[in-house]
């Protein structure tokens, strides 16, 4: 049964990850001075991971990715009325929801990590650009990559909540987005960011599991 659920989740979200991956590859190619598509242009010339162009474009792609994944995995089940069927399978509800969350989280983390790793590998290769590079320069990008997991969970919680009003339903997503901006704001507490993100993620997961257990389907 678990294999079938995993296959279902991957089948229904693969197209989202595929579109995001194309956007990521186009982003990386542009910063390498390459042209992946005829309408895209190269953006080489900046210092890798120091100037804000790569990070801002990375966020521009990643935010829609995590929101689309979270809402697709939760809202679609409500629209089709399949939550009742799924949560009454011969398995505990928290395990089923946990599998969905694990699938979505891993899909985002792997998909979004590829462009950072590829761009960093290129930047660390001698002769590719006329700028200094150290692996510590990638920290801010990895920090954003990890923090956006909270937005995925916020989107999932927004989709599974039984709220009727559109604004109140999206409240967890808005709160998660605000928390991510606050976490990534002060540069002086960078050592605390992973711990804060983990705490926020744990709280959102607890809320999701509570709603899944108590909601009247």
Cα separation, 95 vs 92, in Å, equals 6
Q: Is the pLDDT at 44 greater than 60, yes or no?
A: no
Mean pLDDT, residues 160-166 taken together: 68
Establish how many alpha carbons lie within 13 A of residue 143's alpha carbon, considering only the half-sphere containing its beta carbon: 22
Q: Is the dihedral of CA 58, 61, 67, 68 positive or negative?
A: negative
Phi and psi, residue 127, nearest 5°? 90, 0
Domain that holds residue 98: 2-214
Quote the pLDDT of residue 85. Answer: 62
Quote the pLDDT of residue 1. Answer: 62
Cα separation, 132 vs 160, in Å, equals 47
Domains of the chain: total: 1
Quote the pLDDT of residue 143. Answer: 87
Quote the pLDDT of residue 12. Answer: 82
Quote the pLDDT of residue 41. Answer: 54
Q: Is the pLDDT at 57 greater than 60, yes or no?
A: yes
| Most confident range, picked from 38-42, 86-90, 150-154, 167-171 | 150-154
Beta carbons within 10 angstroms of residue 7's beta carbon? 11
Quick: pLDDT tens for 172-209: 887 788 777 777 666 656 667 888 888 989 999 999 98
Q: Of 67, 70, 13, nearest to 205 (Cα)?
A: 70
Cα separation, 104 vs 77, in Å, equals 14
Question: pTM value?
Answer: 0.85
Query: pLDDT > 70: what percent of the chain?
Result: 77
- Going by pLDDT thresholds of 50, 70 and 90, the confidence category of residue 16 is very high
Q: If DSSP codes are grouped into helix, strand and coil, which group holds residue 131? A: coil
CA 102, 4, 170: angle at the middle one, nearest 5?
Answer: 45
Beta carbons within 10 angstroms of residue 157's beta carbon? 25
Quote the pLDDT of residue 110. Answer: 94
Q: Is the pLDDT at 45 greater than 90, yes or no?
A: no
Q: Is the pLDDT at 66 greater than 90, yes or no?
A: yes
Cα separation, 185 vs 164, in Å, equals 33
Q: Of 139, 150, 149, 111, nearest to 55 (Cα)?
A: 139
Please report which residue ranges of the chain form alpha helices under DSSP H. Answer: 2-31, 53-80, 83-87, 93-124, 139-147, 149-160, 166-169, 171-183, 193-214
Q: Is the pLDDT at 60 greater than 80, yes or no?
A: yes
Quick: pLDDT tens for 92-117: 776 778 888 999 999 999 999 999 99
């Amino acid at each position: 049964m678990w294999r079938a659920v995993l296959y279902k989740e991957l089948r229904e979200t693969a197209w989202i990850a595929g579109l995001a991956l194309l956007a990521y590859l186009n982003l990386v190619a542009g910063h390498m001075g390459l042209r992946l598509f005829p309408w895209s242009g190269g953006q080489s010339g900046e210092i890798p991971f120091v100037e804000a162009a790569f990070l801002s474009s990375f966020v521009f792609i990643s935010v829609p990715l995590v929101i689309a994944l979270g809402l697709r995995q939760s809202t679609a089940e409500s629209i089709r009325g399949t939550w009742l069927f799924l949560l009454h399978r011969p398995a505990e509800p928290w395990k089923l929801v946990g599998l969905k969350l694990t699938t979505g989280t891993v899909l985002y983390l792997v998909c979004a990590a590829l462009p950072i790793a590829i761009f960093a590998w290129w930047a660390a290769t001698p002769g590719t650009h006329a700028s200094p590079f150290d692996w510590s320069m990638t920290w801010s990008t990895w920090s954003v990559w990890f923090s956006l997991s909270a937005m995925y969970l916020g989107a999932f919680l927004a989709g599974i909540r039984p709220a009727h009003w559109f604004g109140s339903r999206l409240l967890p997503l808005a709160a998660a987005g605000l928390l991510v901006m606050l976490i990534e704001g002060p540069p002086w507490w960078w050592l605390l960011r992973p711990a804060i993100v983990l705490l926020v993620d744990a709280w959102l997961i607890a809320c999701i599991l509570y709603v899944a257990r108590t909601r009247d389907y």
